[in-house]
Amino acid sequence: MKSQAPFAYDGLERIFHERGRLAVCSCLIAKPEGMSFTALQDACALTDGNLNRHLHALSETAVVSLERVRGSGRPTTIVKITEVGRARFLAYIDALEAIVRAVHDGERSAEPNALRLATSS
Amino acid sequence: MKSQAPFAYDGLERIFHERGRLAVCSCLIAKPEGMSFTALQDACALTDGNLNRHLHALSETAVVSLERVRGSGRPTTIVKITEVGRARFLAYIDALEAIVRAVHDGERSAEPNALRLATSS
């Protein structure tokens, strides 16, 4: 039933359709080598707590991997998007793109009506 | 501070960034003349309760208007997107579009790296 409805939007996976996680994944997709926790935090303007919470959700579903790295200074966490996560995220982005396209098409098809309403008032 | 972060995504207004409300607004943008409650429900595959809840949130923020119409049969509710709602929703869609573009750009820029990692393993 659900998939018959043209606007059911089942393709919008909840794990990605949250602003913070959308930001994190958009950021990581360009960095297959991974990003440090603090670099990710700066890029996405997330608090420690929020970023931690999102990374927990994303690593639980195997979208990202977390690696604790010890160098000369303090240990840091390196976050990478996994192959599976990458494929799932790109499928989500395709679904978003289809929605953007549908809205633009709908808007264009509505224009003659909108114009008629505007000029008749 | 927040707006300095390239992935802060402040443009994703919460009122629209919810799957059900995104579906409802995408649907209404193509129908300036409005849609009945049941037609909207069928198109978006939402339950009575969910659609009611979303319409309440959208009308409280003046994104949609609700009009109770009495014909020969049962009274129906006609839902329309307002001019203000339309403009705000299209700004949200522009923000989505920018994200889709940024992800595709990021993906392309990451490709040489991804290839190097894949062939070296």
**Domains of chain A as residue ranges with CATH:** 11-120 (1.10.10.10)
Contact residues of A toward B, CB < 8 A: 1-2, 4-9, 12, 17, 19, 22-24, 26-27, 29-33, 42-45, 89-90, 93, 96-97, 99-100, 102-107, 109-110, 113-114, 117
Per residue in A31-59, pLDDT (tens digit) is 999 999 999 999 999 999 999 999 999 99
Residues in chain B, pLDDT under 50 = 1-2, 120-121
Q: At B45, which amino acid appears?
A: A
DSSP per residue over B39-86, as a string?
HHHHHHT--HHHHHHHHHHHHHTTSEEEEEE--SSS-EEEEEE-HHHH
Task: Give yes or no for residue A117 having a pLDDT over 90.
Answer: no
The pLDDT of residue B1 is 41
Contact B56, B18 (CB under 8 A): no
Interface contacts (A, B; CB < 8 Å): 114
The CA dihedral of A85, A18, A78, B101, to the nearest 10 degrees, is 70
With an 8 Å Cβ cutoff, are A19 and B17 in contact? Answer: yes
- State the pLDDT at residue A121: 41
Indicate the pLDDT class of residue A113, thresholds 50, 70 and 90: low
pLDDT at position A10: 78
Looking at CA atoms only, how far is residue B4 from chain A in angstroms?
Answer: 8
Instruction: Tell me which chain A residues have a C-beta less than 8 angstroms from the C-beta of B103.
Output: 26, 29, 89-90, 93
| Residue with the two structure tokens 């997709």 | A29
Other C-beta atoms closer than 10 Å to the C-beta of A97 total 17
Please name the member of B32, B42, B89 whose beta carbon is closest to the beta carbon of A114: B32
Task: DSSP for A24-89, please give it.
Answer: HHHHHHT-TT-EEHHHHHHHHT--HHHHHHHHHHHHHTTSEEEEEE--SSS-EEEEEE-HHHHHHH
pLDDT of residue B8: 86
Stated pTM of the model: 0.86
* pLDDT higher than threshold 80 for residue A111: no
**pLDDT beyond 60 at A6:** yes
Nearest chain B Cα distance for residue A55, angstroms: 16
- The question of ipTM being above 0.95 is answered as no
Q: What is the pLDDT of residue B121?
A: 41
pLDDT at B20: 94
